[in-house]
Amino acid sequence: MTMEELHALFIEHPTICTDTRKITENCLFFALKGPNFNGNAFAQNALDKGAAYAIIDEESFKTSDNLILCDNVLETLQRLATYHRNHCKAKIISLTGSNGKTTTKELINAVISRKYKTIATQGNLNNHIGVPLTLLSIQPDTEMAIVEMGANHIGEIEFLCKIAQPDFGYITNFGKAHLEGFGSVEGVIQGKSELYYYLTTHDKHVFFNADDPIQKEKLASYTKKIGFSTSNHQFYNIKFLGADPYVNLEVEGVHIHTQLVGKYNFPNCCAAILMGKYFNVPIEDVKSAIENYRPQNNRSQILSKNGFEIVLDAYNANPTSMKAALENFSLMKADRKTIIIGDMFELGNTANKEHQAIADFAEKLQFDDIYLVGENFFKTKTSSTQCKSFDDLKDHLLKNPLKKGALLIKGSRGMALERVLELL
């Protein structure tokens, strides 16, 4: 079957499924493979549950005409996504970065959707499977598609750009994330900058933070760039008015009071405002979109429970985001401040050094109580309370309940520190 024929089939059955537990009537099932499963083995089951066709890549499983054989299911999914992208009128805005990708994506979507028919990456489906699935969710009337791109090694963003072929792009920042895969901060910069390389070599527009020295240097000679700044009047000016705890800012004389915690969320708001300005979204609509955006999924959420004012930021963590969260929490007004922070994953051979640096930094900020949770933090030299696992923390807190006040909870996703809420 040619790609043109497969695309015609997709237009007729425009829902893609890769999990037989989520089959919908008349969908196309792509039999992907993983380390512990072979989607081919579930293809017939997908048809039995209502899928119109299943795309497979092992001939032994082809038992009916509704099972379409190809050379490689994943590559076919990726090629179909690019083919579909090129047959749609939607403009593609891609973004990547070490921290804040998902929040920035959601803010951009909130702003742009005030004027245009948009789709955006669901959750953080931002990898070699998620990006194709996002592209395949573009409808005939979609005008803008906001595509988040994640990466943990060099070459990944370059590959995702070949699939998505973005018209515009933005990098949130360069930080100490996925050092195990990138090897170093320099590797992170190289890997994330692959988005800029794609856009500049294809003469596309780049959005950027003109106050970020790395971004400024990378784009110094490029002309199709649109930037924001707090001070450089060569670019779109946005004033930071403070964050205690929520970010407040001013643009074109309009004050915007966000529901986002921490100064580190200011550039994320700026990116959305900048794109709103570029795409002619009225400033009052931009203000409304950002003020009404409320973070979800354990990302910088402010919660109140049993006498605790909680900053719940337990979706993920790396040394850069952890330091920013601690710094911001230290500036918040509260009579008593407690932090519970968990291990940061994917740091490779820098893990010991980075966890020690965060432990030292937390002590320096003189919080009332500090709890370090996880095997990496357990190895640090510190006077703070150390718990090797969440169960150890749980046992400790049952015997020594937390004192009420402000509480920061932050750690990598695998630590699942949102479970602390059940202990309050």
pLDDT, one tens digit per residue, over 5-64 is 999 999 999 999 999 999 999 999 999 998 889 999 999 999 999 999 999 999 999 999
* Residue 339 and residue 376 in one domain: yes
Residues 121 and 234 in one domain: yes
**Would you call 183 exposed, middle or buried from its count of C-beta atoms within 10 A (0-12, 13-18, 19+)?**
middle
Where are the extended beta strands (E) located within 271-377?
301-305, 308-313, 337-342, 369-373
**179 pLDDT band (50/70/90 cuts)?**
confident
Residue 10 CA to residue 87 CA, distance in Å, equals 12
63-121: pLDDT as tens digits: 999 999 999 999 999 999 999 999 999 999 999 999 899 999 999 999 999 999 999 99
Q: Is residue 345 part of a domain?
A: yes
Q: What is the mean pLDDT of the chain?
A: 95
Residues 247 and 283 in one domain: yes
- Sequence-distant (6+) residues with CB within 8 A of 87 are 7
Res 300: pLDDT: 79
Given a cut of 80, whether residue 297 has pLDDT beyond it is: no
Mean pLDDT in residue range 174-190: 85
Q: What percent of the chain has pLDDT over 90?
A: 88
Instruction: Look up the domain containing 372 and give its range.
Output: 301-423
**pLDDT, position 248:** 97
Q: What is the pLDDT of residues 348-405, one digit of tens each?
A: 999 999 999 999 999 999 999 999 999 999 999 999 999 999 999 999 999 999 999 9
Do residue 267 and residue 395 come from a single domain? Answer: no
- Give mean pLDDT, residues 190-217: 96
Domain boundary among 251, 270, 291: 291
224 belongs to a structural domain: yes
Q: Quick one: pLDDT at residue 181?
A: 80
Whether 123 and 259 map to the same domain: the answer is yes
244 has a pLDDT exceeding 80: no
Q: Is the pLDDT of residue 299 over 80?
A: no
Say whether the peptide bond before residue 267 is cis (omega within 30 degrees of 0): no
For residue 244, the 8-state DSSP code is S
Tell me, yes or no, whether 188 and 92 share the same domain: yes
Select from 73, 100, 122 the last residue of a domain: 73
Residues ≥6 apart with Cβ < 8 Å to 145: 90, 91, 92, 93, 118, 119, 120, 134, 135, 138
- Is residue 348 located within the same domain as residue 277? no
Cα distances (angstroms) measured from residue 358 to each of 99, 312, 320, 410: 17, 18, 10, 12
Q: How many structural domains is the chain composed of?
A: 3
Closest CA to 189 of 259, 256, 96, 121: 96
Q: How far apart are the first and last CA of the chain?
A: 58
